[in-house]
Structure 1
Amino acid sequence: MLPNEQSNIHDLTPENFQSILLEQSQTQLVLVFFWAQSIPESVELLPVVEHLAGQHLGKIILAKVDCESQRQIAMQFGVQAIPTLALVKEGQPIDGLAGQQTQAQVQEWLENHLPKPEDELLQQAQVLIAQEQYTQAYSPISQAIEIAPERVDIQKALIDVYVNTGKVAEAESLLSQIKMIDQDDYYQSLLAKLELAKEAADSPEIQALEQQIKDNPSDEMLPVKLAVALHQVQRNEEALAHLLGLMTRRLDAANGEARKILMDILQTLPDGDPLATKCRRRLYSLLY
């Protein structure tokens, strides 16, 4: 594929100026390269810039400006030297680089503005959180916090996922580490969610079942019912502990219902959840 056939490389003209610099720059960085056939340094740099753009498909749009045929665009940017590179984000120039550059210099300059891996993971998680797909959001936000544990925005997204996947203790612990300067509206909403989750976690139904188990310790269906009730309020670790406790005494406890409910709960846990891994190992040891 020739460079100018790549979907992220364009010749900037008055006709596509608004589409690229105002609209497409809302979601991707636009790298504007000002060059001219009569300036050898810019001609030499052109394939370098095209190569770098090709390496960052989905992250960068390259808009080439031939300053000999598109003088008006060059004037709008106030270009005083050729070659010149400019970065546009959300319709606004954010940085520039003038004069002859090596590929390494341009690459280093670009990397200061390109989304980092943790930013992309956070963005994935935020989309899923907005769709209330908290289980699916667990994997990308967990990866993001491993890369950048100091990032408060990542911490808050992780707390959101924790609260909505029943990890109340983890959410409370991480929330307590947020400094006052970072306690914005999102923090306040997380605090409210956490309090609601804690209140819902000890419902009258759960309290009644716990009392019934004390009064009827030989009834195997009661711990199963309690596990279901605990799962409904995201207290999955306790739910699984009750079921594994039953199965430790008898594998087919409650006519096999304990194992069925345990497997159902495991299916709802996020990919990579340490609780699921721990429970599966325990179950394997019971079965084999």
Structure 2
Amino acid sequence: MSGAVDLSALKERADAQRQQSGRPSPASRTPETPQDAPNGDSPGGSGPDHSGGAVIDVTDENFETEVLGRSQHQLVLVDLWAEWCGPCKQLSPVLESLAARAGGSWVLAKIDVDASPRVAQAFRVQSIPMVVAIAQGQPVAAFNGVRSEAEISQWVREILDQVGDALPGGEAGEVEPEADDPRMVAAEDKLNAGDFEGALADYRAITDAEPDNIEAASAARNLEFVLRAQAHDPAIVDTAAPADVDAQLAAADVLLLAQRPEDAFDRIVGVIRVTSGDERTRARTRLLELFELFDPAEPFVVAARRKLASALF
């Protein structure tokens, strides 16, 4: 998991901001107590007082303190969610209930991906809900989608069995880095050798065996798009008939492959505006798939989502 998610950029940004303000790094301090938080604020310096609480609200601004710093002495489960996400509303109460009964063995950090795009980018969020376990500043496990209370409890127990001894009240040593997954290495070797179909088959096999493997799923999505886009005649951009949904989707692929995402998204939004039923659903599904190839905070993705909403409603 730690190889699939890189949180160093968030920590470096927070370190730079801290140096400017003269504040020490959370990792260099002892665990905060309620007395550390002036004026009722949290130790992170923003939001309500969550000191010692089982559930904390986290943003781009306090992520380094409340998640990376806290994870030096306590397991942190990050709940990545959004207001519009129905499954998130099913999962969050389960997580919050478990956190309240955990006795301090772990803490739940809730992050709204729309309000905190930098964190969402760092975790390479492709779908939500997404839950990531953090120990000593490193992601050690993750899952997507809704799971039962029993499944989550077992998942957390297994993580604590593996990392619990490495979290002795802030004196923990380094988490042993995970070895490279030989299956991912083999797929990447095929990719580098030009065997794109073989690499894609390997990535799909990993994803089929491990639906929560974010890195393999992302690689498969990107490779599927490239192979599909390369199979189109580039002339389709100019020859596609306005009412030909397949041709317009192919034209969007070609435009995106040519590094013209705004034009590609506009093509599909245009199809959505003039179609209905299955054809509109197919176009909308393709557009959402293309969104997943990018950081959700990219301005052209945000703009295209607004256009999609306008076209649908």
**What's the TM-score, normalizing by structure 2?**
0.35
Of structures 1 and 2, the one scoring higher in RCO (CA 8 A, sep 6+) is 2
More helix by share: 1
**Larger Rg computed on CA atoms:** 1
**What's the TM-score, normalizing by structure 1?**
0.38
